[in-house]
Amino acid sequence: MILFPAIDLKGGQCVRLKLGDMQQATVYNTDPAAQARSFEDQGFEWLHVVDLDGAFAGHSANGDAVEAILKATDNPVQLGGGIRTLDHIEAWLSRGLRRVILGTVAVRNPALVIEACRKFPDRVAVGIDAKGGKVAVEGWAEASELGIIELARKFEGAGVAAIIYTDIDRDGILAGINWSSTLELADAISIPVIASGGLASLDDIRRMLEPDARKLEGAISGRALYDGRIDPKEALALIKAARAKETA
């Protein structure tokens, strides 16, 4: 079980959005590289990065900030937002990313995702962002008619490293993870699922460690970490204790 701290990039700064609205952005750090170092120093093992401008523009828009993050941390980094072609995927992976996250292109061109998984085994994740139970695309600005499980099942057996499932209706408002929808998805597919959107407190961490949620790869935390609602030391201690219990 992994707790992924999030760095969302807008205009080269580390921000958090409310309900996926670019007009409701709170700046938490003007130096994303320093934020990445801080997360590593706190004991986190991974880093989740989203190029928000890139998600809306359809191409990478915070490349300098991402490269600075990669130089600043030894932790593996997964990046989403505006990655839409095989060339984009290869370019980012060659710069040191552990995983790319494909969202809009997974809806528009699932064959590209499958090809990317073949070329780059275990280094491609799919981001499924849902609003009102339907998959959203183009930086959450557009809704599709696809259901969450319907889209995820397109990639069964393709070698997708993980599905990152975000409930946009809970994102950035500390409403708690949508556990019912997240676990329903995890039960429906064999691909590991990472929960995102709304993680609010240590209660969510404890819920993530319950037996029925152990199938998840982990969860992503943003605002709750930045606002101090989750103490990193306590959260990581809970996860470490759960891991020790599993291996005992």
User: Which of the residues are catalytic?
Assistant: 8, 129
**Phi and psi at residue 125, in whole multiples of 5°?**
-110, 155
User: Helices then strands (H, E): number in the chain?
Assistant: 11, 12
**Phi and psi at residue 76, in whole multiples of 5°?**
-65, 145
The burial class, CB within 10 Å (0-12 / 13-18 / 19+), for 245 is: exposed
Dist CA 177 CA 180 (whole Å): 9
Task: For the beta carbon of residue 210, count every other beta carbon within 10 angstroms.
Answer: 11
Q: What SS3 state is found at 134? A: strand
